Each structure stands twice: as structure tokens, then as C-alpha cells.
Structure 1
Amino acid sequence: MRLLRPHPAPPPPAKPGDILAEAANLHVRLGPREVLHGVDLTVRAGEVLALVGPNGAGKSTLLSALAADLPAAAGVVRIHGRPATDWSPAELALRRAVLPQSATLSFPFAVADVVRMGRAPHVSSPAEDDLAVAEAMAATEVTAFAVRPFSALSGGERARVALARVLAQRAPLLLLDEPTAALDLRHQELVLRVCRERARAGDAVVVVLHDLGLAAAYAHRVALLCAGRVAAGGPPAEVFEERLLSDVYQQPVEVFPHPRTGAVLITPKRLA
């Protein structure tokens, strides 16, 4: 007689400021190359943390390591206080949800079915699943094409459906890799507002961004990566300093306050 292993229970609700993920002296290798060099990072409930930096700085690698999708060559990643390697895949799926840079499917699933895949880690009633799926689709504005094949969508529509799947998973730690890359202006703002709403509800959100303006507007904290290390970390107003950004990006920039709100604005220096 085979004994069935009990389904893992979701974690208890986090309190604001609780550390839901952290990297301590993290080193990650991809093949022969060391991509991350001694990274320290904390991810707290109730905050949006933006990972920014130039191409090749290690942002996506760090996100994958925080998701326990890449092993540490040295150091440790902890999720909910335990080394990531101590959690089973089923336990991890209840604690963190991951949005990769691109979403591909080999079969023509309907949009609603793709979003419902986010419910796979849960043992819940059909009504609970339906509610989670409906709320996630409404938040990302994909309800109108619920029955369309995922493969028939534009790149931006696919990106929003993939985010809806992540939201439907209802994990307290959201790890999003360039969720705004394929989106128009309206939907970039929508996605970052959703990130703030999830943080306000008590989740921890880590988001890889290339747009420093979006990071300044929506992130509570930023980690500026350069050559596999964290060059600076803290509130955007403290990290986004002209000399530092110009050095890291090897492009002169100007940093100044918004004339109405005082929020940080960043623009490249141009001759005309």
C-alpha cells in the first residue's frame, strides 16, 4: 500500500517588514563564468524592491537565484527563513511565484486556462480558484480575451496574461523579470501599480526593471547591480545619484526632482 504524502500548507501571513527572501554572500556561476560575486540582499514583506543595472549586471541571475531556480556556488539563499534548498518544489510554489522574461506554450491553451495554471500548487475549492483567476485577470486587464488562444496574443498581451498567472498563484513573494519590457505606456504603469498594490496587501515584490523612472516612481527600495555586485542599495532618492549612475551605466545622466511631485527623474545627458 502506498502512503500519500500530505499536501503542504501555505505559509502563515507575513507581517510588514518580515524578511521573505535573502541572499547572503551569494556567488552564482553559469558554466565557467562567475556571474554574481558575494551579493547580499534582503526582500521584505510590504515592499517593492527593484533590481536595476546595465545589461549583463546579473539582475536576472539574482532573481533566478532568489527563486531557487539557480544553485548557489557559494553563500546561501533563504526563503521564509530557511535555505531555499530545504524546501520541496511544492512548498516553494506556495511561497514564491516567478515571472520569467518570456512565456511560451506549445499548445493553444485559452487565456483563462493559462491563468488557472497558477492555482496548481493549491488544494482549494473550484469557487476559490475561480475567484483568484477572475481577480488576477481583472487586475491585468486580460478578462476581455479570456477564451482566446494564448498563442494568438500579441507580445504585450502575453506578458500580461503571464503576470495574471503569477497573481493567481497568490504566493507572498513575487519575483518578476522585466514585466514591463513588452508593454505600452499605459500597461507599464498598470503593472507597477499592481506591484505596489500587492506590496500594500503584505506581499514582497522583487522586480527587474530597465526603466529607472519606473523604479524611482514605484519601488520602495532599489538594488543597483554592476558586474555581478550590488553597487548601492536603498530608497531610489538615495541610490539614484548622477555620478554613481553615470559610472555604472557608462553614460552621463542627469538626476533632478519632478517640478510638481519632487519625485526623482533620470534622463541621459544629451548635447542638444
Structure 2
Amino acid sequence: MRLRARRDGDPGTIPATAAAVSGLRIGLGGKEVLQSVDLGVRAGEVLSLVGPNGAGKSTLLGALSGDLEPASGEIELWDRPVSAWSAIDVARRRAVLPQSHRVSFPFSVREVVEMGRAPWAGTDRAAEDERRIAAALALTETEAFAARPFTSLSGGEQARVMLARVIAQDAGLVLLDEPTAALDLRHQELVGRLCRELAGEGRAVVIVLHDLDLAAAYSDRCALLAEGRVAASGPPVEVFAADRLSEVYRQPVKVELDAETGVPHVIPLR
């Protein structure tokens, strides 16, 4: 399937920045989770958010999606303040895969993926529903069990179905929170390749990852978070310095570059 480059969720020219935060501060449960964060994601790139537990990665993803209200700072979606968009406009312009997902009723896999098309109901784009759903099932290797109840699937299978729902939504900004956590090696790599394909067709992709090697292999840029701040941001080969990672993760590591690709490989020192 070839995905179209888009602006504001529609075909056309692409702005430099799909989503951005500046001077962002967010507090949750009496704790300041993000402190003066400045970060943007451009159309056509994969940006990975990495860092230790509690660093603020999921909170930053929620801010970029417009789902979290900041204590201070600005959030922009497709070159406009997120508050300037209606709820349906936001739903058509960004798709979010949360860290956890529940489906309380025995919907089939296909029905769950079809939910991703809800923002386009009643529009000309609804004519694409069948094609988009079929393509999303194929891309995530879930078509073989499309008729099965979602609740009957393994955790990894459910994760891939929820990713298919996001792909079917057909938004220009794709936000994925730990999409590989429940997946085997093959499907972790599948997610990486899908992110690259989405970016290659003009979408902006933000992905929260704990696997630094996966982030290094498939990201254009990585933002390393530590204690609510961006400790470093840039290409993986620049961000993944051994001394920096050892300090942020409080775990000694060494970093080796792949001889063929130049991609950094992070190795814990045991």
C-alpha cells in the first residue's frame, strides 16, 4: 500500500513541523513530570522518545497528541495551537496508540480496526474504509484472524491489531506508546519497518521505545529524556554516547557502531 503525503490530515503539501511543544511544563499527581521541554517532530521522519522509567516519555507523547493540558508552554499541531482545532479535526490529523488498551466487548478483530475509520464517517474519505482496513490488516499481519474476537487473542496479537487500527485511521501524525512491548523479535522489526514506511510517505511518526537498538535502527532522530527534561536530541549516532547513556540510565554501557550500517549498538556492561 502506498500512503499519501499530507498536510493537516489531507493530501497536499507538507509543513515543516507536524507537532511541537515549547516551554512545556506538565504536572501529574502533584509532581512536575515535564520541565521546560522544547521538541518538535517533522513530517517525513521517525522520532523516538527514549529514556528510563518515569522520565516523562508517555507524558510528552500525550502532550504532542493534544490530550494533556500543560501547566505552561505551547503545543502546536500542524502549525496551529492545538486549542484551535476541534475534537474531530484533531482526530483526523493524529492517531494515537496508547501504552495499554482494553476492549470490553467481544468485537471482532476487523471491527476493532474499523474503529480507526470513525473520524472519517460522513465524509468523502469514508469511501476508502474497506481499502484502508484491508491494507492495515495486511501490513500488521493480522488478516488471518480478522474474524476472531479481539478478546481471544494473545497480548502480542492484540498489540498488532491496535496498531492496525492506528494505521487505518490514516492520519498525518502517528503517535505510538511502546508498541513493541508485547511483541516477538519478528514483529518488533515489523513495527520498525512500518514506521519507516509511514515516514517515507510523508507522515510524522513519534514512537516511545525502551529498546535502544530498535530506536537506533529505525529512527531519524531520538530524544533522550531524563527527569522530565530532554537530555539530548538528534540522530541516534549523536545521542547514544556511552557516557551520556550510562549517566541517564544509571547503568554502565558501551556503544559500538555496526561496521556496515554505522548504526549504534548499546551493550550493557555486566
Q: Cα distance, 1:82 vs. partner?
A: 1.2
Task: Please tell me the root mean square deviation across aligned C-alpha atoms, in Å.
Answer: 1.4
2:82 to 69, 81, 84: 84
Contact 1:15-1:202 at 8 Å conserved across structures: no
Q: Cα distance, 1:259 vs. partner?
A: 3.1
Q: Which range moves more in the overlay, 254-263 or 153-162? A: 254-263
Residue of structure 1 equivalent to 2:169: 169
* Cα distance between partner residues in 1 of 2:24 and 2:258: 36
Residue of structure 2 equivalent to 1:5: none
Q: Cα distance, 1:185 vs. partner?
A: 0.1
Residue of structure 2 equivalent to 1:59: 57
Number of equivalenced pairs: 262
**What is the DSSP-based 3-state SS (H/G/I as helix, E as strand, rest coil) of the residue aligned with 1:35?**
strand
Q: Using a 3 Å threshold, how does the CA distance of structure 1 residues 100 and 14 change in structure 2: closer, same or farther? A: farther
Structure 1 stretches of at least 4 aligned residues deviating more than 6 Å after TM superposition: none
Unaligned runs of 5+ in 1: 1-8
Residue of structure 1 equivalent to 2:244: 244
Q: Which range moves more in the overlay, 134-143 or 260-269? A: 260-269
Q: Cα distance, 1:258 vs. partner?
A: 1.4
* Cα distance between partner residues in 2 of 1:50 and 1:158: 22
Contact 2:117-2:126 at 8 Å conserved across structures: no
Alignment of 1:75-114 (within 5 A): 75-114=73-112
Deviation per residue, 1:206-261 (Å, 9 max, x gap): 00000000000000000000000000000000000010000000000000111333
Q: Cα distance, 1:15 vs. partner?
A: 4.4
**What is the DSSP-based 3-state SS (H/G/I as helix, E as strand, rest coil) of the residue aligned with 1:231?**
strand
Unaligned runs of 5+ in 2: 1-6
In our comparison, the structure showing a higher alpha carbon Rg is 1
Residue 70 (str. 1) matches residue 68 (str. 2): yes
* Cα distance between partner residues in 2 of 1:11 and 1:216: 28
**What is the DSSP-based 3-state SS (H/G/I as helix, E as strand, rest coil) of the residue aligned with 1:103?**
coil
Using the size of structure 1 for normalisation, the TM-score is: 0.93
What one-letter code is carried by the residue in structure 2 that aligns with 1:211? D
Contact 2:178-2:210 at 8 Å conserved across structures: yes
**What is the DSSP-based 3-state SS (H/G/I as helix, E as strand, rest coil) of the residue aligned with 1:98?**
strand
Q: Using a 3 Å threshold, how does the CA distance of structure 1 residues 24 and 126 change in structure 2: closer, same or farther? A: closer
Contact 2:15-2:78 at 8 Å conserved across structures: no
Identity over aligned pairs, percent: 59
* Cα distance between partner residues in 2 of 1:16 and 1:88: 21
**What is the DSSP-based 3-state SS (H/G/I as helix, E as strand, rest coil) of the residue aligned with 2:104?**
coil
* Cα distance between partner residues in 2 of 1:202 and 1:142: 24
What one-letter code is carried by the residue in structure 2 that aligns with 1:27? R
Q: Cα distance, 1:14 vs. partner?
A: 5.8
What one-letter code is carried by the residue in structure 1 that aligns with 2:31? R
Q: Which range moves more in the overlay, 227-236 or 117-126? A: 117-126
Alignment of 1:150-189 (within 5 A): 150-189=150-189
* Cα distance between partner residues in 2 of 1:14 and 1:269: 48
Alignment of 1:253-268 (within 5 A): 253-268=253-268
